[in-house]
Structure 1
């Protein structure tokens, strides 16, 4: 997945028990696939990893969706079938991934800006 200000496009599917995300190459690729489903999914999706946001919408903390979660929501855990449902029924969201960009390792120090008076 892109880091630090990279353009990112995802398809968000609001399920009955969880919200699911699939990262895609571009909104145009998804729309083209919807018109012509013979286009290989590999040309549409950025990663075959299906993410779950635990009912926190498209911006929630993402984890890999378990087979049980996929079975519960989609009736299958076949990734291709689930991704097709998400692409068909989900909403495309494009933008920049800036809120999660950068180094997340806080042990390196200096990454948290607190007003300490020391400059």
Structure 2
């Protein structure tokens, strides 16, 4: 893994109208929760935010799911209940996510207004 890359884990749930995604903190906590529902969900999920991919599968552009989308697919807009359903019925996927910080082209040298003086 390159410097700055982060392993992320998500659960992908292919719904009727939309594909839903929930991000996890770790595979180990997820597996513990699968066998022991007394494990708090807060220890399993990275956040209680549920994303959709606009029918583009597990790799589509993510946006937050609306209450009506949750209601249409899961019969409830209660995010805790929806997260549980996604965790129980979805597919675990690990992926690498590049974290970019600072200047990505080091050959440019420092970028400041003073480097353009006199040009």
Match of 1:92 in 2: 92
Once the 2 structures are TM-superposed, how far is the Cα of residue 56 of structure 1 from its aligned partner? Answer: 0.6
Alpha-carbon separation, structure 2, partners of 1:40 and 1:94: 21
- For residues 5 and 73 of structure 2, what CA distance do their matches in structure 1 show? 32
Report deviation, 1:74.
0.2
TM-score (norm 2): 0.79
- What is the rounded CA distance, in whole Å, between the counterparts of 1:102 and 1:57 in structure 2? 25
Aligned pairs, number: 100
Partner of 2:11: 11
TM-score normalised to structure 1 length: 0.79
Higher radius of gyration, 1 or 2: 2
**2:100 and 2:60 mapped to 1: Cα distance?**
18
Quote how far apart the aligned CAs of 1:29 are.
Answer: 1.4
| Structure 1: 4+ residue segments shifted above 3 A | none
Deviation at 1:88? 0.2
**Cα deviation 1:16-42 (Å, max 9, x = unaligned):** 110000000112211110100010000
Q: Following TM superposition, by how much is the alpha carbon of 1:102 offset from its aligned partner in structure 2, in angstroms?
A: 2.9
**Root mean square deviation of aligned Cα:** 1.6
